[in-house]
Chains A and B, each alone.
Chain A
Amino acid sequence: MSNTFKIGGVHPNPSKLTANRAIEPAALPVQAVFPLSQHIGAPAVPCVAKGDQVLVGTVIAQPGGFMSAAIHSSVSGKVAKIDTVIDASGQRKPAIFIDVQGDEWDPSIDRSTTLVQQLNLTKEEIIERIKNAGVVGMGGACFPTHVKLCPPPTCKIDTLIINAVECEPYLTADHRLMLEYPDQIIVGVRIIMKALGIDRAVIGIEENKPDAIELLQRKVMMVSGIEVMPLKMKYPQGGEKQLIEAVTGRQVPPPPALPANVGCVVQNVGTVYAIYEAVIKNKPLIERIVTVTGDSVKNPCNLKVRMGTPVSQIIEQAGGMPEDTGKLLSGGPMMGRPLLGADAPVVKGTSGILMLPEKVAERREERNCIRCAKCVDACPMGLEPYKLATATQQQDWEKCEQEWILSCIECGCCQSTCPSRRPLLDWIRLSKNKVNGIVRARQAKK
């Protein structure tokens, strides 16, 4: 019996249309757009000006603080302007626009495909390289990776967990990456183990990817300390806390506790590959795998896309946006963000572009809560979503806080199971924001 997390969870239709589609390179864009905040934390600060010539791999924005990440140009050409663009948050954000000319790479980047296994760097050197390469968590949250690799000194880390679960329906970017670059991923895992100074790593993969499990299990046989663990299919297993519980049986205490408090560091498998490239090949985070998919998409595919490429261009490569499209998502259908239009750029956290038909995208009319308790059953954090939503409607922030609203991971299980179609997560998000503000104000007073 495979492991999984204990509380709640749902089983959405996996719809992995592109699981057998090999990764193809996406065409170079005419103009690439680099928003300055592609990660959690302070926005990066531009270090180029209009008219500057850049190469592939040139730093165009420096980290804006410790909790921030550098941004590199993914194309060669001329800086056209520093302006604003509407990103996946739906808001206008400052961004650097680069007109593409040719494809000139920075000579320090090793573009060969030879696998390098030797690793003669110290812990600090590894983290420095990762930081300089602007690597962030590729699973969607975009947490700066070098920060995650420097856990608080009071926490004793013993296990590195590689998140290769990909529990979001439709997405196959991580799956394809594992099938096509397994050796690089193993080296990447060893690099992170060295950076953390630990000798145990577990790669968690859901059972719906038997080919990836089998392949990686074969590859790690000769490597000590790395284990591939098949996990039972259940959403949201890719949630950091759920994955830690599934793999180790440990539960991370409620916020503000971190995974490090239970001795774990979790890294997405896409991040592991980026770390391999950054440390071994000196290649900054300038491209990523994006699944372009949807039930009515003509040619759903997995593309290796340069950062900053407009979404519209990779949609064209997948056969264009279908007639019936009602919603364009960056990410999966459970946690992805809706795009206002197809001119938004691909950024570090774009794991997929999903086109949902209108009849799926449309929300149905909300009905009375019939107290069926399905949201309570589904919540992987052991919360009572129906109660939180109602307390929010009554603006009872105190009750929301008592009922652990800040533990909510916004996985959407509650709302996706509600037979009355209540927008439970909408309400909970609203209240989370409010309660977060109240808590911060209280701490500031102290």
Chain B
Amino acid sequence: MAQKLFISTSPHIHCGDTIERNMHWVITALIPALIASFIVFGIGALIVTVTAVASCMLFEWLISRFLLGRERSTLGDGSAIITGMLLAFNLPSNIPLYQIVMGSLVAIGIGKMVFGGLGNNPFNPALVGRVFMLISFPTRMTSWPEPHQLLSYTDATTCATPLNLIGQISGGNAAAADSLPSVWNLFLGNTAGCIGEVSALALLIGVIILLCKKVITWHIPVSILATVAVLTGIMWIVNPDLYVNPLYHLCSGGLMLGACFMATDYVTSPMTHKGMVWYGIGIGFLTVIIRFFGSYPEGMSFAILIMNAIVPLINNWCKPKHFGEAAK
């Protein structure tokens, strides 16, 4: 009976969930897309992904150890691995190494660590890195290798992505429609584009894993995809000559990757289901606007970053329904 007893207030048990568990499931869910990218882009996809992950982890360790002087590194939580993978997934597979390293530094350093590390960053770190690279290295970031050059890296021949072609069609170049791949090929990922975004199928498998493991809820991905489908659907019905059908939009570019993995980032998304739906609608709306009217063919990154910026406002507007309020 002389045992030492802990004294603390309730609750005394925990469901066992940890930051690591959630992060590890996100990494697992990204594996199908990684495999798909290796099949489509070959060795280049692997080089870019490994470089991005390694440099993100290195920078996270260096910054927390030497700049922040933290004794215990947060490297183990797995968030740097995810940032690295997501950054790589948003790059073409023929991008030079030094550009990846610089992008990783910006993603981890400016996107995350300056705010105090995981949990405090207002913007998605991988997207901060990606947009930095898009502005700094515009040519390299917008030339995508053709699929199935399995052994080439920076020397791969490039071609237009489906989104470029869709943009050209809207611009009145009806001939571009001939080179547009079929929806089925887009869905499988048999097309040019960034590493992780090509295969909608692989990304959907990943998001189903996350939903089943209750890492994320359906609200953000579904509201983004539904908004894009509805808006592009309206355009298509109004003028099917200029605008392609919504399935092309859903399966092309970074939409699926963004909706499933980038917009659902815990730290930078809203805290209530209602907020998540509005956030998703906002992202979907901005993506369509940028795709149709912006100078970039791709709008996902910017749409997510813009909505990231107003998440604090969404959190203030969209409160959970308080018990008993309706009864008053």
B12 x A410 contact (CB < 8 A): no
Given the complex, which residues of A lie within 8 Å of B271, measured CB to CB? 371, 373, 376, 384, 386-387
B6 x A338 contact (CB < 8 A): yes
B328 x A253 contact (CB < 8 A): yes
A370 x B7 contact (CB < 8 A): no
Q: Does B67 interact with chain A (Cβ within 8 Å)?
A: no
For chain B residues 276-328, which have a beta carbon within 8 Å of chain A?
319-328
Q: Which residue of B lies closest to A378 (CB)?
A: B15
From B17-25, B45-53, B162-170, B232-240, the one touching the partner chain is: B17-25
Partner of B19, one of A329, A333, A367: A367
B12 x A334 contact (CB < 8 A): yes
Contact with B along A1-40 (1 / 0, CB 8 A): 0000001001010000000000000000000000000000
- Check A369/B327 contact, CB under 8 A, given A169-B13, A335-B10: no
B322 x A356 contact (CB < 8 A): no
A416 x B14 contact (CB < 8 A): yes
B15 x A368 contact (CB < 8 A): no
Q: Which residue of A lies closest to B275 (CB)?
A: A373
B323 x A368 contact (CB < 8 A): no
Q: Which residue of B lies closest to A421 (CB)?
A: B14
A419 x B9 contact (CB < 8 A): no
B12 x A254 contact (CB < 8 A): no
Given the complex, which residues of B lie within 8 Å of A274, measured CB to CB? none
Q: Does B154 interact with chain A (Cβ within 8 Å)?
A: no
Q: Does A381 interact with chain B (Cβ within 8 Å)?
A: yes
Contact with A along B222-254 (1 / 0, CB 8 A): 000000000000000000000000000000000
Partner of A326, one of B6, B11, B120: B6
For chain B residues 107-165, which have a beta carbon within 8 Å of chain A?
116-120
Report the bound CA distance from A377 to B216 in whole Å.
Answer: 11
A327 x B5 contact (CB < 8 A): yes
Report the bound CA distance from A363 to B18 in whole Å.
Answer: 13
For chain B residues 162-215, which have a beta carbon within 8 Å of chain A?
none
Report the bound CA distance from A336 to B22 in whole Å.
Answer: 29
Given the complex, which residues of A lie within 8 Å of B54, measured CB to CB? none
Report the bound CA distance from A417 to B120 in whole Å.
Answer: 20
Report the bound CA distance from A188 to B69 in whole Å.
Answer: 66
Q: Does A262 interact with chain B (Cβ within 8 Å)?
A: yes
A94 to chain B, nearest CB (A): 22
Given the complex, which residues of B lie within 8 Å of A254, measured CB to CB? 322-325, 328
B6 x A372 contact (CB < 8 A): no
- Check A416/B13 contact, CB under 8 A, given A7-B323, A241-B323, A384-B319: yes
A415 to chain B, nearest CB (A): 5
Q: Does A342 interact with chain B (Cβ within 8 Å)?
A: yes
A355 to chain B, nearest CB (A): 10
B324 x A370 contact (CB < 8 A): no
Given the complex, which residues of A lie within 8 Å of B22, measured CB to CB? 370, 372, 419
Report the bound CA distance from A396 to B28 in whole Å.
Answer: 40
Number of interface residues of A (CB under 8 A): 72
A12 x B327 contact (CB < 8 A): no
Q: Does B99 interact with chain A (Cβ within 8 Å)?
A: no
Report the bound CA distance from A326 to B324 in whole Å.
Answer: 38
- Check A251/B326 contact, CB under 8 A, given A326-B5, A419-B17, A421-B14: yes
Report the bound CA distance from A415 to B13 in whole Å.
Answer: 9
B11 x A340 contact (CB < 8 A): no
Report the bound CA distance from A425 to B9 in whole Å.
Answer: 8
A368 x B12 contact (CB < 8 A): no
A329 x B9 contact (CB < 8 A): no
Given the complex, which residues of A lie within 8 Å of B77, measured CB to CB? 367
Report the bound CA distance from A312 to B2 in whole Å.
Answer: 12
Report the bound CA distance from A338 to B327 in whole Å.
Answer: 36
Given the complex, which residues of B lie within 8 Å of A410, measured CB to CB? 10
Given the complex, which residues of A lie within 8 Å of B35, measured CB to CB? none
- Check A372/B266 contact, CB under 8 A, given A251-B327, A382-B320: yes
Given the complex, which residues of A lie within 8 Å of B322, measured CB to CB? 254, 381-383, 404, 407
A380 x B323 contact (CB < 8 A): yes
Q: Which residue of B lies closest to A12 (CB)?
A: B13
A407 x B15 contact (CB < 8 A): no
Report the bound CA distance from A50 to B7 in whole Å.
Answer: 34
Report the bound CA distance from A228 to B327 in whole Å.
Answer: 26
Q: Does A102 interact with chain B (Cβ within 8 Å)?
A: no
Report the bound CA distance from A410 to B9 in whole Å.
Answer: 10
Report the bound CA distance from A58 to B90 in whole Å.
Answer: 79
Max chain B Cβ within 10 angstroms of own Cβ: one of A368, A377, A383, A411: A368
B1 x A257 contact (CB < 8 A): no
Q: Does A304 interact with chain B (Cβ within 8 Å)?
A: no
A360 x B13 contact (CB < 8 A): yes
Q: Does A353 interact with chain B (Cβ within 8 Å)?
A: no
Given the complex, which residues of A lie within 8 Å of B118, measured CB to CB? 368, 370
Query: Which 8 pairs, one residue from A and one from B, show the smallest C-beta to C-beta distance?
Result: A412-B11, A368-B119, A251-B327, A382-B322, A333-B13, A372-B266, A361-B6, A419-B17
Extra pairs beyond A327-B7, A361-B12 (17, CB < 8 Å): A90-B7, A252-B327, A253-B325, A326-B3, A334-B12, A338-B9, A356-B13, A367-B77, A371-B266, A371-B271, A373-B271, A404-B322, A412-B10, A416-B11, A419-B21, A420-B119, A425-B10
Q: Taking beta carbons and an 8 Å cutoff, which residues of B are in contact with A?
A: 1, 3-15, 17-19, 21-22, 77, 116-120, 217, 266-273, 319-328
A-B pairs with beta carbons under 8 Å apart, 10 shown: A326-B5, A333-B13, A367-B119, A371-B269, A377-B217, A382-B320, A382-B321, A384-B271, A413-B11, A419-B19
